[in-house]
Amino acid sequence: MLKIYHNTRCSKSREACSIITETGEKMHIVDYLKSPLKEDEMKDLLTKLGMKAEQIIRKKEPLFKEKFEGKKRTEAQWIKILCAHPILMERPILVKGNKAVVGRPIENIYKLL
């Protein structure tokens, strides 16, 4: 089963859900804004993505620009920030088994499927 970290207000996230539905793949949708990841879950997700926390931060988000832009943080600090402010997390993120991808560009989804 495929897990998708989904934001209903995001067009790319909705598009990802449509693509998955069209393939017939079963999916578990996680509304990460309503149910933010815990630190251990975030670390696990980053491992599956093969990325650092800072790489999945939406740097165009107003919150990032207001509070975090231009400031150096450790990996642990970025993880805490993402967990405390899930709006900063890139979306959609799809997980299948031990692999995950950020669904931007949308072609990345097909790599996981």
For the annotated catalytic residues, the residue numbers are 10
| Rg of the chain in Å (alpha carbons) | 14
Strands of 99-102's sheet in order across: 27-31, 2-6, 93-96, 99-102
Distance CA 15, CA 110 (A): 12
H/E element, 46: helix 39-49
CB 19 within 8 A of CB 103: no
H/E element, 31: strand 27-31
